[in-house]
Structure 1
Amino acid sequence: MTARGLAVHLALASVLLAGAAQAGTGQSRGDRRDLDVVASAQPSDQRRDDTDRVVAETMVREGDLKADAVATTVTGCHGCRGASAVLQVLYVPGPASARFDNVASAWTQDCWDCTATALAVQVVVIGPGTRARPGNRALAVDDACATCLTATAAFQVVVQVDAVGRLPEAALAEVAAWFEQQAALLQDSVLAPAPRHRADRLAARALADLRAAVVRALDGRTRSARVALTRSDG
């Protein structure tokens, strides 16, 4: 591994662990429930195209919690393709203290004509007594690569309602279809990259669509809605 590659790994570890360190301040692990969902794609010479897609829906009945949704992809073989995508839907009736971290990370290293994408989506529905601390991050890096492309997208929506319940089946289907569309668009973006201003505009529109679908279905109000995009061309 090159010196720059080592620095990339260390920087990524810091990004992923920052939320856990902050969430743990002032309370013991035994008092907090951890709800982590991870999608990980690791293509290799034996599996040149690797895709991992994870969807999780969870109702939290009681207690404080920390929830991490993480999509991570590492590509280091010539001509390989890696794509990870995670969708986490959480319901927190409260009262609770909750830390929500949503992270998409992808990198390519020591290869040519290789790609890596990661999509992280976190939808959280909370009651009026829940103290929410959301975080949303994306990271894309190329190291010692020629003609490599990496792209990440992280979408996070936190909606507050008076009485927490599951999204209706029709709304869940709408969110799932939205997720599949964004995963496909992200993979397309490394094949035919769009100008950054256009990508930002499309991402903002996609975030608005996701937020509207959840708010409309539950008659709630938005507490937080964030999107982060990164792209790196080797």
Structure 2
Amino acid sequence: MSARGVAVHAVLAVLLLAGAADAVQRAPDDPRRDLDLVASAQPSDQRRADSDSVVDEVMVREGDVKADAVATSVTSCHGCRGDSSVLQVLYVPGPSSARFDNVASAWTQDCWDCTATALAVQVVVIGPGTRARPTNRALTVGEACATCVTATAAFQVVVQADGVGRLPDAALAEVTAWVEAQAAVLRTAAVAPPAARRAERAAARSLGDLRRVVVRALDGRTRSARVAVTR
């Protein structure tokens, strides 16, 4: 592996493992809770197409919160494909301090005609007394791979509601269907990549659709709505 490749892997490893490092350094009586959710696709010569999709819905009753949603795909074999997607839905009535990190990362390494896509979606509902610190990132890397394609998208919505409750079944089904549609968009983008500006506009419209579903279902208001895409 080249020096650049080693550096890239080191940076991504730091991003993905930051939550674990925090957990090790904290004292046992720290009331903060770590809620990490990871989807990982790792194709190989033995399994040339690999996909991983993870969904979780959590109500946090008390204490401070740190939540990481991570979708990561790594492809390093000729003609292989990796697709990952994660959906994390969190309810934090508060009052508390909450840090939310949402990351989609995909990279290809030393292969021909290989593909990696990653979709990370984090939906957070907080109460009036919760101090929220959201971060949303999408990363792609191609190393020694002239004919490879990567595509990532990270969507994060933080909604505040006076009374925090779970999304109704119908609204949750809408969110799940929305995630499936975005995963299909990424797979299509890997076959025929759209222009960067067009992809960003489409992602912004899709973010608006997701935000409206959550706000309408809980009679809330948007605290933060972010999207990042890479092609």
TM-score normalised according to structure 1 size: 0.94
Output the amino acid matched with 1:224.
S
Give the drift of 1:17. Answer: 4.4
Measured in 1, the distance between the counterparts of 2:226 and 2:205 equals 11
Measured in 1, the distance between the counterparts of 2:36 and 2:19 equals 12
Give the drift of 1:109. Answer: 0.1
Output the amino acid matched with 1:188.
T
Alignment match, 2:159: 159
Alignment match, 1:122: 122
- Tell me the SS of whatever aligns to 1:95: coil
Contact 2:69/2:102, CA 8 A, preserved across alignment: yes
Measured in 1, the distance between the counterparts of 2:9 and 2:26 equals 28
- Could you tell me which runs of 5 or more consecutive residues in structure 2 were left unpaired when the two chains were aligned: none
Q: Does 2:26 match 1:31?
A: no
Alignment match, 1:12: 12
Alignment match, 1:60: 60
Structure 1 pair 150–214 and aligned structure 2 pair: CA distance change class (3 A)? same
Structure 1 pair 105–218 and aligned structure 2 pair: CA distance change class (3 A)? same
Measured in 2, the distance between the counterparts of 1:114 and 1:210 equals 30
Give the drift of 1:5. Answer: 1.1
- Could you tell me which runs of 5 or more consecutive residues in structure 1 were left unpaired when the two chains were aligned: none
- Give the total of aligned pairs: 231
Measured in 1, the distance between the counterparts of 2:130 and 2:18 equals 22
Alignment match, 2:112: 112
Contact 1:36/1:67, CA 8 A, preserved across alignment: yes
Give the drift of 1:20. Answer: 6.7
Alignment match, 2:41: 41
Q: Does 2:186 match 1:186?
A: yes
Alignment match, 2:217: 217
CA deviations on 1:63-103 (whole Å, 9 max, x unpaired) are 11100000001000000000000000000011111100000
Measured in 1, the distance between the counterparts of 2:223 and 2:210 equals 14
Percent identity between matched residues is 76
Give the drift of 1:23. Answer: 9.5
Contact 1:72/1:84, CA 8 A, preserved across alignment: yes
Which range is displaced more, 183-192 or 24-33? 24-33
Measured in 2, the distance between the counterparts of 1:19 and 1:42 equals 21
Alignment match, 1:80: 80
Which range is displaced more, 60-69 or 23-32? 23-32
Measured in 2, the distance between the counterparts of 1:199 and 1:121 equals 17
